[in-house]
């Protein structure tokens, strides 16, 4: 068994389990930075039946990446001595089926540059390594639902795919606000689509326009295509013919 190594490939194995009978149960959910993706925000707030602005204000903090200049969203820990995750209780995670991507990946972390997995948990404190079955990393990731990127996470990555950070670091505060709106605050983005010139600029089908009035997943896809149009690929969204004609005349 290869769980003595901190760096693992998909074919390596490790022993791990986490359940209420493990002595350290829930301790990994305290005083920790839990970054959440746009897909995480959508899933969790829908489970809680909350609007995007209300959820973000109540449960999250936002920081700006020093590398990209773009906003990153974290869960806001409780203001108690232990600084517990807001969704953890004596019996465990209250949103377990919709828990964030980083929580699903635990006790591992993915190193995108080296294309490998690292054991992020402190083995001296996490007793889960003494428990349960032996997992092949690939099987563990599949079991936790993180073997392949979720569709919305893939769209999110593609929205900045042509930027070379930190050379292309975003410095414009307005762009940062627009990025945050499109990625995380979908209710505000929906109002932006219908109350601005958005639909007079982009050639969006009537069918899709009807869908995004109520369907957050479709709205999120449109938001990421809009970001991709602005930051990575001018072909990501079609412009209306009259807009193309105006651009041609301007040239």
pLDDT tens per residue, range 213-234: 999 999 999 999 999 999 989 9
Please state the rounded mean pLDDT for residues 69-83: 96
Q: What does pLDDT average to over the chain?
A: 92
Integer angstrom CA distances of residue 19 from 22, 59, 172, 184, 239: 6, 25, 46, 31, 52
pLDDT value for 1: 52
pLDDT value for 4: 47
Q: Kindly report, residue by residue over 121-168, the tens digit of the pLDDT.
A: 888 889 999 888 899 999 999 999 998 878 898 999 999 989 999 999
Distance between CA atoms of residues 99 and 94, nearest Å: 9
Whole-model pTM above 0.95?
no
Please state the rounded mean pLDDT for residues 40-49: 96
CB burial of residue 30 (10 Å; 0-12, 13-18, 19+): middle
pLDDT value for 148: 83
């Amino acid at each position: 068994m290869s769980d003595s190594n901190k760096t693992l490939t998909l074919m390596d194995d490790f022993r791990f389990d986490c359940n209420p009978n493990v002595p350290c149960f829930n301790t990994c959910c305290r005083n920790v930075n839990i970054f959440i993706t746009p897909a995480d925000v959508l899933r969790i707030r829908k489970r809680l039946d909350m609007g995007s602005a209300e959820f973000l204000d109540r449960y999250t903090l936002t920081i700006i990446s020093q590398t990209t200049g773009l906003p990153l969203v974290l869960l806001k820990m409780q203001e108690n001595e232990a600084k517990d995750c807001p969704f953890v209780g004596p019996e465990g995670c209250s949103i377990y089926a919709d828990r964030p991507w980083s929580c699903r990946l635990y006790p591992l972390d993915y190193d995108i540059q080296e294309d490998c997995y690292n054991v992020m948990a402190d083995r001296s404190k996490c007793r889960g390594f003494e428990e349960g079955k032996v997992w092949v990393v690939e099987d563990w990731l599949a079991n936790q639902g993180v073997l392949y990127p979720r569709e919305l996470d893939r769209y999110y990555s593609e929205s900045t795919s042509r930027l070379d950070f930190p050379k292309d670091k975003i410095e414009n505060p307005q762009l940062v606000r627009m990025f945050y709106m499109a990625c995380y605050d979908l209710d505000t983005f929906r109002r932006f689509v219908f109350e601005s010139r958005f639909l007079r600029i982009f050639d969006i089908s009537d069918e899709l326009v009807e869908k995004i009035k109520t369907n957050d997943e479709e709205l999120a896809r449109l938001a990421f295509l809009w970001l991709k149009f602005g930051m990575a690929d001018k072909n990501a969204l079609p412009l209306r013919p009259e807009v193309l004609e105006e651009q041609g005349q301007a040239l």
